[in-house]
């Protein structure tokens, strides 16, 4: 892990850009004298575009005493494109525009290679971050591409709790992996999100093997997660990581 920039925000949070091999990322740490817990922040891909929202989330987490970090997704931002992934994305967008349901085959073709590539990158990032003296644990995962969160929660024992968006475009094979998840989960669902298959989201929630799992469904469309729902997710992490 190489740090390539560093700046101190006005609330005392230290923001550092890094690269880990070919993968760019950002780490935010609160002013603290002892090692702090860490939240890995997912996103849909495209760090530059997502950066204002990610920075706001990280500063909120810092207030609760947590470091936060994120990395670019394979095939997004400045990272090299894959022809197969670009084709699958185009096929999915065409299916959505046509207004019909999206074939499982397209979802699998787009999402499974992404999950296969991204999850080891998040794990390598975790190796590097936990080696820093200022990062202790436990570790939470929050948001982003649901399928990545499901796989990571299933296979990475260092992730102790997760906040997931119950989104569409989760390959069916990941519903099986969801049954292997046992960590506490806080699942957000935008009830009237037209781009989301509500029934599939409820089935995914049902599939998780966790003894403690909570579904918070709210109104407001895809990007309309209300402030109080964000507060509830923060309270979930305080309960499990502090």
Residue closer to its own copies by CB (options 22, 206) is: 206
| In the complex, minimum distance from the CB of residue 142 to its own copies, in angstroms, rounded to a whole number | 17
Distances, alpha carbon 164 to alpha carbons 27, 41, 184, 187, in Å: 20, 10, 11, 5
Residue closer to its own copies by CB (options 123, 214) is: 214
179 touches its own copies by CB under 8 A: no
| In the complex, minimum distance from the CB of residue 184 to its own copies, in angstroms, rounded to a whole number | 10
Judged by CB under 8 A, the number of residues near its own copies is 23
Burial class (CB in 10 A: 0-12, 13-18, 19+), 225: buried
Residue closer to its own copies by CB (options 5, 227) is: 227
Chain residues 218-237 in contact with its own copies, contact rule CB under 8 A? 218-219, 226, 228-229, 231-232, 235-236
| In the complex, minimum distance from the CB of residue 205 to its own copies, in angstroms, rounded to a whole number | 7
- CA nearest to 75, candidates 105, 44, 30, 52: 44
CB-based contact 77:118 (threshold 8 Å): no
| In the complex, minimum distance from the CB of residue 64 to its own copies, in angstroms, rounded to a whole number | 16
182 touches its own copies by CB under 8 A: no
| b/e per residue 148-186 (b: at least 16 CB within 10 A) | bbbbbbbebeebbbbbbbbbbbbbeebbebbeebebbbb
HEC assignment per residue over 87-125: HHHHHHHHHHHCCCCCCHHHHHHHHHHHHHHHHHHHHHH
Window of 23-31, 58-66, 156-164, 200-208 that interacts with its own copies by CB under 8 A: 200-208
Residue closer to its own copies by CB (options 57, 240) is: 240
Residue closer to its own copies by CB (options 129, 225) is: 225
14 touches its own copies by CB under 8 A: no
Q: What share of the chain is helix, strand, coil (3-state, %, to 5)?
A: 40, 25, 35
203 touches its own copies by CB under 8 A: no
211 touches its own copies by CB under 8 A: yes
Applying CB under 8 A, which residues contact its own copies? 189, 191, 202, 205-206, 210-219, 226, 228-229, 231-232, 235-236, 239
């Amino acid at each position: 892990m190489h740090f390539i920039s560093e700046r101190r925000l006005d609330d005392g949070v230290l923001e550092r850009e890094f690269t880990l091999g070919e993968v760019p990322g950002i780490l935010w740490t609160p002013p603290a004298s002892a090692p702090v817990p860490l939240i890995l922040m997912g996103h849909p891909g495209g760090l530059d575009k997502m950066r204002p929202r990610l920075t706001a989330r990280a500063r909120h987490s810092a207030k609760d005493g947590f470091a936060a970090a994120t990395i670019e997704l394979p095939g997004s931002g400045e990272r090299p494109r894959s022809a197969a992934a670009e084709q699958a994305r185009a096929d999915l967008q065409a299916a959505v525009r046509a207004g019909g349901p999206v074939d499982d085959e397209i979802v699998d073709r787009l999402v499974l290679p992404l999950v296969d590539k991204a999850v080891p990158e998040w794990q390598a990032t975790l190796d590097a971050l936990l080696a820093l003296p200022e990062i202790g644990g436990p570790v939470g995962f929050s948001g982003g591409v649901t399928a990545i969160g499901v796989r990571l929660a299933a296979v990475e024992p260092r992730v102790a709790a997760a906040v997931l968006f119950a989104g569409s475009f989760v390959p069916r094979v990941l519903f099986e992996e969801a049954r292997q998840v046992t960590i506490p989960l806080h699942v957000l669902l935008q009830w009237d999100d037209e781009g989301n298959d509500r029934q599939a989201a409820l089935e995914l929630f049902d599939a998780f093997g966790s003894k403690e799992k909570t579904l918070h469904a709210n109104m407001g469309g895809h990007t309309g997660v209300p402030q109080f729902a964000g507060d509830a997710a923060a309270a979930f992490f305080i309960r499990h990581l502090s």
